[in-house]
A and B are shown apart, each in its own frame.
Chain A
Amino acid sequence: MTDTPRDWNAIRAVIRKDVTAVRRSKAVVIPMLAVPFLLLVILPLLIGVAARSQGGGVGNFLDSVPAGLADPITDLPEDEQMIVLVNGYLLAPLFLIVPLMVSAVLAADAFAGEKERRTMETLLHLPISNRDLFVAKLLGAFIPAIAVSWVGFALFCVVTNAVAWGVMGRIFVPTRLWGVVIFWVAPAVAMLGLGVMVRVSVRARSTQEANQLGGAVVLPLIFLAVGQSTGLLLVDLPVAFAIGAVIWVLALWLTRRGARRFTRDEIATRI
């Protein structure tokens, strides 16, 4: 097949179309914003309020946590320990649900949704290469997922620092761990969500079916969060970097495989 040069105008046009369409879809926007709002605004707010009203250390809990994670917290004054532990550390892996979920929802809409709405055939009959169409669909989900994650994180920082100001008297998030999570692990996780949903969407006939099949992706993240909070995972900086790297490799592998199967012939056979 003749290889065509990358057409960024076409890619931008498809991305703009997908993003505009999603912005107007309440069924997509509401869950996409509600979960980050709960995780990144409401949850830290409640934790902050609880920490301020109850105070107290988390010594018993820290006994079961590896020293690398426990030491910097044990060194803090007792009334700061809970808020720093939860908002500074334990929420970090939970935060990864945001890019994962947003990218998965958007990818389901971009790939399976296009089939469901019977608009995919229109795209297949246009002069846009398989590769450019795939890149456009991928970026159309990846960029908003990262945008939502980063804006959500900015809100999280504001809320957390504001609510904890009375206890902390200083800005304590973002921590270095958060930095790694936001700029290294979160994009990897968003790409992982995309990689999975691209594969799922090839088989799914509707957005709902794709979301149901892809929902299994959230579980590993929940396990990761639980794992960290029980000290099973040493999520300090090097480990966070390593986990990010592993997720990137997995995500890129899945995406590459998805791209190989993203051919007009394959898609047209299933619509």
Chain B
Amino acid sequence: MAAAAIQTVQLTRRFPSGTALDRLDLEVFPGEVLALLGPNGAGKTTTIRLLNGVLQPDSGSARVLGLDPAVDGHAIRQRTGVLTENAGLDDRLTARENLEVVARIRGLKPAVAHERVGELLERFDMGERADVAVQGASTGQRKRIALVRALLHDPELLFLDEPTSGLDPAATRDVIELISSLATEHGRTVVLCTHFLGEAGRLADRMAVLHRGTLRAAGRPAELAAEMWQGLPTDIELAAPADARVLGLLRPLDGVITAESTPTGLRVEVGHRDVIARVVRTLVDASVDVFAATPQPHTLEDVYFAIEAQLEIESIS
């Protein structure tokens, strides 16, 4: 496997108000999309700031694109693009002015900067607003300008904090497709902080859940799900909710972990995909009409909420 694009070892940062990040161990590989999840105050923004050399760690270390952010922050920032949660645009300047400042700081010559900014604004449907003051722009428009800013220099590594918040459905779809293509077609590494779990589920190869500065889970959603749940939930659609006789037929079957009645039939949790066929056969043999059998693998959303629930229980106890 290639060297990690990001690697942290026991990375810790404290503020007077408390520990924002506590002994974070994390790896992100090139071309991977990592969803960094957690409620507000979990430590996501602190993580990004530490990885981009904006904050210094109190202890632990990190390597980003082979460099130490505590020492080589400047060199790292030349190769990363950041979309902060707040668009961070100066309302008094136009979209083009906001972006050209960044392009100039990133070392683009004025003519190149002008051309690149124009090209990206057009691509994000912001061409018409390019020379209008940002004041008065909608949240979605601001977000798109900020996304252009993060992509101006074609960065190797992107930190995206809530990239689709405030966007309309069409713009959300476009941004999701863009992020997906950046990773899959252009090999860019993306760290995605988001509250939209559906979006994270569509984009992320792996997820990391932070809670009060501590990493509570990290891995592929399917792997994490396998650790949490034994089987594969499958919805079986019947003519009516399954009664005790039907459930009694299935529960003794080898490979069936649970069987519960649902308004549309029943839900079984099976140890393996092959068991579904056996379940259907058993029902048909018992003259029960089966209209559909749909496996429902645990999603990133299921995993996240299960972790949150666990944390809730821990905090209560």
- A7-15, A155-163, A239-247: which lies at the B interface? A7-15
| Contact call A129/B74, Cβ cutoff below 8 A | yes
Would you call B37 an interface residue if the criterion is a C-beta within 8 Å of the partner chain's C-beta atoms?
A: no
Residues on the A chain within 8 Å of B73, using CB: 1, 264
Contact with B along A1-29 (1 / 0, CB 8 A): 11010010110111011001100110000
* Residues of A in contact with B (beta carbons under 8 Å apart): 1-2, 4, 7, 9-10, 12-14, 16-17, 20-21, 24-25, 117-122, 124-129, 264-265, 268-269
Would you call B289 an interface residue if the criterion is a C-beta within 8 Å of the partner chain's C-beta atoms?
A: no
Residues on the A chain within 8 Å of B91, using CB: 117
| Contact call B93/A265, Cβ cutoff below 8 A | no
Closest residue on chain B to residue A1 by CB atoms: B71
Docked Cα-Cα span, A212 to B34, in Å, equals 45
Contact A24-B49, Cβ < 8 Å, known A13-B101, A17-B97: no
| Contact call A122/B84, Cβ cutoff below 8 A | yes
B15, B55, B90, B97: which contacts A119 (Cβ < 8 A)?
Answer: B90
Docked Cα-Cα span, A121 to B77, in Å, equals 13
| Contact call A117/B90, Cβ cutoff below 8 A | yes
| Contact call B102/A126, Cβ cutoff below 8 A | yes
- B104-112, B181-189, B252-260: which lies at the A interface? B104-112
A9, A117, A120, A121: which contacts B107 (Cβ < 8 A)?
Answer: A9
Would you call B89 an interface residue if the criterion is a C-beta within 8 Å of the partner chain's C-beta atoms?
A: yes
| Contact call A127/B77, Cβ cutoff below 8 A | yes
| Contact call B54/A268, Cβ cutoff below 8 A | yes
Contact with A along B8-39 (1 / 0, CB 8 A): 00000001000000000000000000000000
A4, A12, A16, A121: which contacts B86 (Cβ < 8 A)?
Answer: A121
| Contact call B54/A2, Cβ cutoff below 8 A | no
| Contact call A20/B93, Cβ cutoff below 8 A | yes
Contact A21-B105, Cβ < 8 Å, known A125-B82, A129-B74: no
Residues on the A chain within 8 Å of B133, using CB: 24
Would you call B53 an interface residue if the criterion is a C-beta within 8 Å of the partner chain's C-beta atoms?
A: yes
Residues on the A chain within 8 Å of B74, using CB: 2, 4, 127, 129
Residues on the A chain within 8 Å of B80, using CB: 125
Residues on the B chain within 8 Å of A121, using CB: 54, 84, 86, 88
Label chain B's interface by main secondary structure: mixed
Sample of 6 A–B contacts (CB below 8 Å): A2-B74, A16-B101, A24-B133, A122-B84, A125-B52, A127-B77
Would you call B310 an interface residue if the criterion is a C-beta within 8 Å of the partner chain's C-beta atoms?
A: no
Determine how close the nearest CB of chain A comes to the CB of B56; give it in whole angstroms: 5
Closest 5 CB pairs of A and B: A13-B104, A122-B88, A125-B82, A127-B77, A127-B78
Docked Cα-Cα span, A16 to B113, in Å, equals 15
| Contact call B55/A2, Cβ cutoff below 8 A | no
| Contact call A119/B89, Cβ cutoff below 8 A | yes
Would you call B72 an interface residue if the criterion is a C-beta within 8 Å of the partner chain's C-beta atoms?
A: yes
Residues on the A chain within 8 Å of B226, using CB: none
Contact A124-B54, Cβ < 8 Å, known A9-B107, A14-B101, A14-B105: yes
| Contact call B55/A268, Cβ cutoff below 8 A | yes
Q: Which of B250-289 contact A (CB under 8 A)?
A: none
Docked Cα-Cα span, A96 to B97, in Å, equals 34
Docked Cα-Cα span, A208 to B38, in Å, equals 35
Given contacts A1-B71, A126-B106, A269-B15, 15 further A-B contacts (CB under 8 A): A2-B71, A10-B107, A12-B104, A17-B90, A21-B92, A117-B90, A121-B86, A122-B88, A122-B102, A124-B54, A125-B54, A264-B53, A264-B73, A265-B54, A269-B55
Contact with A along B38-72 (1 / 0, CB 8 A): 00000000000100111110000000000000111
